[in-house]
């Protein structure tokens, strides 16, 4: 197993130009990483260089820039394959983000294979992006959604999950880590349980890949999605991993250029995967940026990132738990760096605004995961969320600001 070497956080912070500014006269503390992460200079440079030197459409051009752009795009795909531990680059589809990725699977695999009465199993902890697409396809196909409950600590109730699984279970869709409460789901075990019923499993990795090592073959996932902007890369780029044998039998989703082999007015034959699922001009520049972001994360080392962030999470949890009038929501034993909380007699939006006046950026709202919060009788929480460039000093600033808010 790769050994975690300590992170040099002061040096890392120098790589992120956006962190070195003042908001309302106070140094910025970026604690909204579950919504989006900031970008290192190497990613910004990769984007700038692509547009300054290489910009071209890809795959069909006969000229040098087309060749360079094509190579850069396909190298990004290979970097994603390595990053996820996929068996082949053919198993990597480049899309706009996790949301588009889940919709792609729902509208291709789901529409082709779901039958009336089939069951789609989700957890209470899902992001809306892993609920709504399944509702849409279930309504169209006559399938049924089943929901796995969670404990008061926001941990999956595995016995209940086992009871839900059955011969009608066709697909299980799970967050690897909850964006609203931080819970890390035991997805390898849950995938194994689903496969006993020949169900397919989709894992939403948007909140896991930035924070821990992930290997899709070890997890056993049939489908895995993530978003570039959550892993220190650009917005507008994301990934669908799918097992090659599934991509072969799935119909295309969108039609257009690139995804075809031959077109006549009578009939179209489609290209092989992954091209079959990448209609139109792809987001070449942001794919290059994503590749640069994955290089950056790999240079730091995901075991080192996970170790540092867990230490920071434990420190932050301990500090916030001591504040009289603050209630932490979601206290799972296995968590990513998400700290959902509510303050006594203080609306969450007001807390978010007051923290912003202190230069502290957090999310305040339902986090596109309303069912997970309603399980705890809430419509909204304040959600500081951590990344490897955050520090204990920043946690202390958050704690001091929260104490002041509660006093006033």
Q: Measure the CA–CA gap between 260 and 270, rounded to whole angstroms.
A: 4
Q: Is 235 exposed, middle or buried (0-12, 13-18, 19+ CB in 10 A)?
A: middle
Q: What is the DSSP letter of 53?
A: I
CA proximity to 291, closest of 57, 82, 90, 51: 82
Q: Is 368 a catalytic residue?
A: yes
Q: How far is CA 292 from CA 83, 176, 267, in A?
A: 12, 23, 40
Is residue 148 within 8 Å of residue 190, measured between CB atoms?
no
H/E segment holding residue 148: strand 144-148
Catalytic residue chosen out of the listed positions 368, 369, 386, 401: 368
| Cross-strand partners of 122 | 147, 173
Helix 284-300 / helix 64-84 crossing angle, nearest 10 deg: 40
Q: What is the DSSP letter of 199?
A: -
Is residue 224 within 8 Å of residue 172, measured between CB atoms?
no
Q: Which two tokens stand for residue 147?
A: 């929901």
Residue with the two structure tokens 């780029």: 237
CA proximity to 338, closest of 207, 237, 218: 207
What SS3 state is found at 222? Answer: coil
Is residue 278 within 8 Å of residue 101, measured between CB atoms?
no
Nearby residues of 236 by Cβ (< 8 Å), 6 or more positions away: 96, 97, 228, 229, 283, 286
Backbone φ and ψ of 73, nearest 5° = -65, -45
Q: Kindly report whether the peptide bond that precedes residue 384 is cis, defined as omega within 30 degrees of 0.
A: no
CA proximity to 313, closest of 288, 280, 338: 338
Q: Which two tokens stand for residue 78?
A: 């290979």
Q: Which two tokens stand for residue 404?
A: 């002041």
**Annotated active-site positions, please?**
368
């Amino acid at each position: 197993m790769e050994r975690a070497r300590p992170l040099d956080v002061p040096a890392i912070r120098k790589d992120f130009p956006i962190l070195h500014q003042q908001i309302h006269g106070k140094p910025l503390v970026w604690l909204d990483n579950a919504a989006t992460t900031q970008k290192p200079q190497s990613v910004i440079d990769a984007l700038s260089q692509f547009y300054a030197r290489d910009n071209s459409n890809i795959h069909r051009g006969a000229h040098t820039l087309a060749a360079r752009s094509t190579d850069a795009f396909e190298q990004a795909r290979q970097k994603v394959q390595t990053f996820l531990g996929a068996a082949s680059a053919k198993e990597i589809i480049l899309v706009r983000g996790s949301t588009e990725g889940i919709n792609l699977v729902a509208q291709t695999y789901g529409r082709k294979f779901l039958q009336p009465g089939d069951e789609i199993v989700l957890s209470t902890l899902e992001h809306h992006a892993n609920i709504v697409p399944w509702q849409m396809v279930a309504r169209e196909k006559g399938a049924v959604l089943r929901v796995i409950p969670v404990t008061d600590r926001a941990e999956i109730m595995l016995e209940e999950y086992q009871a839900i699984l059955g011969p009608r279970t066709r697909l299980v869709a799970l967050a690897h880590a909850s964006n609203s409460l931080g819970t890390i789901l035991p997805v390898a075990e849950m995938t194994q349980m689903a496969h006993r019923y020949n169900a397919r499993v989709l894992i939403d990795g948007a909140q896991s890949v930035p924070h821990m090592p992930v290997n899709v073959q070890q997890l056993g996932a049939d489908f895995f999605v993530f978003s570039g902007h959550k892993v220190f890369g650009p917005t507008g780029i994301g990934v669908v991993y799918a097992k090659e044998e599934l991509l072969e039998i799935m119909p295309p989703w969108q039609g257009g250029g690139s995804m075809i082999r031959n077109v006549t007015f009578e009939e179209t034959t489609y290209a092989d995967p992954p091209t079959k699922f990448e209609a139109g001009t792809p987001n070449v520049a942001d794919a290059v940026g994503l590749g640069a972001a994955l290089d950056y994360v790999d240079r730091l080392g995901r075991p080192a990132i996970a170790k540092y962030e867990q230490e920071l999470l434990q420190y932050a949890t301990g500090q916030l738990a001591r504040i009289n009038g603050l209630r932490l929501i979601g206290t799972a034993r296995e968590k990513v760096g998400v700290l959902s909380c509510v303050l006594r007699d203080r609306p969450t939006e007001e807390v978010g605004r007051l923290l912003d006046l202190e230069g502290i950026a957090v999310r305040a709202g339902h986090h596109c995961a309303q069912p997970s919060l309603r399980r705890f009788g809430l419509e909204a929480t304040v959600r500081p969320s951590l990344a490897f460039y955050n520090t204990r000093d920043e946690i202390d600033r958050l704690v001091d600001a929260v104490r002041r808010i509660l006093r006033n």
